[in-house]
Amino acid sequence: MRMGCVSACPACVLLTVLLPLQSAVVAAPLDVIALDGAFRRVTAPSLWPGFEPRRIPRAIFDGTDTWLFGHPNPPQGFAEVPQLSDTRRFSGRWKDITANSSIPIEGVPTATWLLRSDSTVGIEKLATGLVHECFHVFQRANHPAWHGNEVELFTYPVEDPAVLAGRRRESEALRRALAAAGVGTTRRWAAAALEARRERHGRLSKGARDYERGTELNEGLASYVEWRAGGRGGACAQPAAQLGAEAIREWAYRSGCLMARVLDRLAPGWQHALESGVEPSLDELLDEKLGSPKAPPLALSDEERQAIESQAKNDVGAIETDRARAREGFLAKPGPRVIIVSETEPLQAEGFDPLNARRLAVGEVLHGRFLKLGNTAGHLSVLDAPSLTLAAGTRPLFSGVRSVEIHPTVPLRIERSVDGRLRIVGGGLELDFQRARSEQDPGGVIRVLVGK
């Protein structure tokens, strides 16, 4: 999901998931009106049964103002825009818009988009990305089970080279299925992809398998709808260089979209099977559409398999070195830092960015962009600044956090009240805790103790 989406939350883990921001050049607020016009153009054809993106409210921050389109009950502070009956504008960034995502605004699910000014993504491409976010709103209303449990992200066996090699064989088979000249060859390469998946799934836990399948339904299908709207490439284009061993979520975007495109070729109208109330995984649906008896799968050559397996072993072998380098780079980063330790009650994960979160040493997770933690004493959030969490229990992040180190980007404002309340704001950090105290050492490190 190109810029950033909020994933549907698993029942056992209620949290906000933000994905990385994609940037775009926006010269003036009027470009937002042009973006909405492009959005209306790319949504003219039917993209998915029952999906009506123009009926879904959209909130866009252009770097100066927040624009709200098609919302039935705009919040106070959103002013009417002359000659645009369904458009409102708010001066500044609306407080809950932190990513390309979806959020409730006045209780109404709303797709959100952040425009940036540091790259050159075209307006039509931005419009198809907004379609992606609108489809997430549709999914959550109609298919709440379409999600992966993000807890599995930190226990997935990325260190197993056979799993990585199997993933890459499957991806190559799907790529060849789409490149095939005839439907018969497409079927045989699709069968090869499913064969590679069955072999790989034999090495995975049920939780890991479910994570792949749920993310393929959630992000893979949103990427597919974006692709159909004209956003060719992106997550639906097989990368020339295979994704890394730890890029499980990114891979599921692509595998889900690629399977959807193969289904287009083999079984036009397959989407209605999912909308009819039958909700298999995409690989199960593809297997069903291959028919019976199934054509024998094609196979990669021995040389191709050996090359994939050799590269997978090399890539997995480099994981620990890369993790150590990432950890050292974080700890050596110059500038201000804040270390928060919860002495009595672990902090709980309320939000994080799974595409910018990496498991490091035992219990440690490095967060590159977004993190939100809290307990009964208060909350903290970090946006666009790196942070490192240390688990309070056996599972990284999801067994609670004992401590977190944050590297804010600018000097901080520290406010203390007589009742022991502590607030720290600045550089992407917002911290607000009762029963907390802080101290600053000669090196400038701010240490916050929560719970005493």
On whether both 104 and 23 belong to a single domain, the answer is yes
Residue 324 has pLDDT above 70, yes or no: yes
- The domain boundary, picked from 112, 142, 172, lies at 142
On whether both 37 and 53 belong to a single domain, the answer is yes
Domain assignment present for residue 8? The answer is: no
Domain count, the chain: 3
- The domain boundary, picked from 291, 314, 337, lies at 314
On whether both 132 and 204 belong to a single domain, the answer is no
Q: Give the dihedral sign, CA 86/227/215/281.
A: positive
The per-residue pLDDT for 22 is 38
* Rounded Cα distance, 334 and 64, in Å: 30
Q: Which residues contact 406 (CB under 8 A, 6 or more apart)?
A: 337, 338, 339, 340, 380, 382, 385, 386, 387, 429
User: What average pLDDT does the chain have?
Assistant: 89
On whether both 93 and 59 belong to a single domain, the answer is yes
Pairing of strands 16-17, 348-352: parallel
On whether both 368 and 244 belong to a single domain, the answer is no
Q: Which residues contact 125 (CB under 8 A, 6 or more apart)?
A: 231
CB distance 294 to 189 below 8 Å = no
Residue 369 has pLDDT above 80, yes or no: yes
Domain assignment present for residue 279? The answer is: yes
Average pLDDT over residues 75-80: 95
On whether both 302 and 333 belong to a single domain, the answer is no
Domain assignment present for residue 338? The answer is: yes
Domain that residue 170 falls in: 150-314
On whether both 34 and 130 belong to a single domain, the answer is yes
Query: 137-170 pLDDT, tens per residue?
Result: 999 999 999 999 998 999 999 999 999 999 999 9
> Minimum mean pLDDT among 82-86, 91-95, 233-237, 324-328: which range?
233-237
The per-residue pLDDT for 198 is 98
439 phi/psi in degrees, rounded to 5:
-145, 150
On whether both 376 and 442 belong to a single domain, the answer is yes
| Angle at the Cα of 38 from the Cα atoms of 34 and 41, rounded to 5 degrees | 140
Domain assignment present for residue 282? The answer is: yes
Confidence of residue 120 (pLDDT cuts 50, 70, 90): low
Domain assignment present for residue 248? The answer is: yes
- The domain boundary, picked from 142, 164, 190, lies at 142
The per-residue pLDDT for 290 is 95
Residue 186 has pLDDT above 90, yes or no: yes
On whether both 301 and 191 belong to a single domain, the answer is yes
Predicted structure pTM score = 0.88
On whether both 280 and 331 belong to a single domain, the answer is no
On whether both 304 and 329 belong to a single domain, the answer is no
On whether both 375 and 342 belong to a single domain, the answer is yes
Domain assignment present for residue 2? The answer is: no
Query: 299-309 pLDDT, tens per residue?
Result: 999 999 999 99
Confidence of residue 239 (pLDDT cuts 50, 70, 90): low
Domain assignment present for residue 247? The answer is: yes
Average pLDDT over residues 357-371: 93
Query: 18-61 pLDDT, tens per residue?
Result: 443 333 333 344 588 899 999 999 999 999 999 999 999 999 99
* Rounded Cα distance, 332 and 120, in Å: 32
Domain assignment present for residue 432? The answer is: yes
